[in-house]
A = this chain, B = another copy of it.
Amino acid sequence: MRHIFPLDLSRWERDVSFNIPLNYQPLSASTLPDYLAAVSVLRERLGGGPKDWTLREVSDGYLNLVYLVNGPEGSLCTKQSLPHVREDKDWPLPLDRTASEHLYWRTIGPHAPGLIPEVHHYDPELSLLAMEQLHPHEVLRGRIVAGEIYPGMSRRVAEFVARSTFFTSDFHQKQEFKHERIAELKANHVLHRIMLELVYQDPFMPSERNHWTTPHLDAFVEDFRTNGRIRAAAGRLGHKYLTTPQALIHNDLHAGAVMLTDDDLRIIDPEFATFGPIGVDLGIFIGHLLIGYFAQDGHATESDNRDRQQRWLLDEIASFWFAFRERFLQLWRDHAAGDAYLAKGFDDPVGRAVAESERARFVDMLFADAIGFAAAAMIRSIIGYSHFAEMETIADPDRKGAAEAGALSLARTFLLEPEQFATIADVIDEAPRRRRAPGCRFTAN
């Protein structure tokens, strides 16, 4: 993990509100069992008592303590926020992200059955969630790197995005719903600031937090900082992100937020949830599948050329979009209970036709938004602060740089010539053309 943040984090830290509750303490492998034993719903789920339970710490990421707990009758997973970055006690972070995560689960839960982990218990004093242990699920990211395929998995992600965003949008909700939740989520402002700066600001200007494969990507980085049309497009994306609360979005829906088996899939880790453009969730997921697609060129071996994985990833991108589109439209037809396009005003033959064409218009607009947000997600994950295993596990720098250059080349065109991408077919047609030979450098377009 790069420890550049603290150098540059002065503004973020200044405003941190440290509501550390009086009884807060991080639970360790030695103190967690007694805590779980005292919560009857958790004790009963595990069966037996503390002496019968096994604990395994699986914390990864920067933010949380995570334990898997197994008992004679059942299992669970605990996730507790720390008041600082996990591996750096001098880098403070407020605990409110657990309240945000809990708000997200309890808001989305009724609308996304079977698509998220079950939440058994929330303790606001300890910033602790006890949830279903997903087993034998694996994180999608690791499986992509390993060269596995999960045909059809993205249809379930599409179902999740369609349901979680539609049911929290103004097409389904009254306006008060959103204002109440924005009020609750504001306590999590440090994470919201991190997301804003890392995705929409840093990659398009010099920042100590940026890093990239050099010299391979130097020309891209220089272009993103100097090209007027790219900076204009990035400015518009950032402004749209800030001013378009269409629904409660997950806001970090990359391949690390998806856990799956061959026949089950769950979405995790909504700490960055906010009200924002629906295109953000769509774009992040599409963008990271494209990252996975380009990364395969860095993972190919003589015995496994990864052709099959690449075809699979492009298929998943297409089916993700088509499944989302169909599902979102159908949910809107069936559950139009919100303040936008009030159903009462469209309840006649002409009105129904108008509503149908407005729905199509809106979803087409989401596609255009998704292309832009996909570009932002791809760019930040290659030249910004946080990089991801798809590319980071490519050992050879030339092959890594080549794979990343392909992804950046496509993302760049998403920003510069969005009109080239009118449908998802345009995206999956264009991606193969952007694959680069190792060592390839950026040249204009």
Contact = CB atoms under 8 A, between A and B. Distances in A.
B340 A238 contact: yes
A232 interface: yes
B196 A339 contact: yes
A249 to B, nearest CB: 12
Nearest to A348: B226
Contacts of A228: 350-351, 353-354
B226 A350 contact: yes
Contact of A339 (B234, B238, B244): B238
Contacts of A204: 345
Nearest to A192: B175
A351 to B, nearest CB: 6
Given A185-B179, A186-B179, A243-B245, A342 B205 contact: yes
Contacts of A176: 15, 186, 189, 192-193
A235 B189 contact: no
B192 A242 contact: no
A14 to B, nearest CB: 11
Contacts of A362: 239
A444 interface: no
A405 to B, nearest CB: 23
Copies of this chain, count: 2
Contact of A231 (B180, B196, B246, B346): B346
A18 B355 CA distance: 37
A189 B179 contact: yes
A219 interface: no
Contact of A345 (B183, B205, B245): B205
A403 to B, nearest CB: 27
- Which of under 10, 10 to 19, 20 to 34, or 35 or more describes the interface residues of A? 35 or more
A24 interface: no
A58 interface: no
A238 B341 contact: yes
Interface string A224-241: 001111011011101100
A358 interface: yes
A282 B2 CA distance: 48
A348 B185 CA distance: 36
A399 to B, nearest CB: 31
A359 to B, nearest CB: 10
Interface in A322-366: 339-342, 344-346, 348, 350-351, 353-355, 357-358, 362
A182 interface: yes
Nearest to A207: B344
A351 B245 CA distance: 28
A170 B201 contact: no
Contacts of A357: 232
A339 B242 contact: yes
Interface in A158-174: 170, 174
A397 to B, nearest CB: 28
Contacts of A243: 170, 244-246, 340
A279 to B, nearest CB: 12
A175 B242 contact: yes
Contacts of A350: 226-228, 231
A244 B244 contact: yes
B231 A351 contact: yes
Nearest to A274: B179
A252 to B, nearest CB: 17
Given A179-B189, A235-B358, 9 more contacts: A176-B189, A178-B242, A182-B186, A205-B344, A228-B353, A231-B354, A232-B358, A235-B355, A239-B341
Interface of A: 15, 170, 174-176, 178-180, 182-183, 185-186, 189, 192-193, 196, 201, 204-205, 226-229, 231-232, 234-236, 238-239, 242-246, 339-342, 344-346, 348, 350-351, 353-355, 357-358, 362
The 8 residue pairs across chains A and B that have the minimum distance between CB atoms: A183-B183, A179-B186, A205-B345, A239-B340, A235-B341, A228-B354, A170-B242, A228-B350
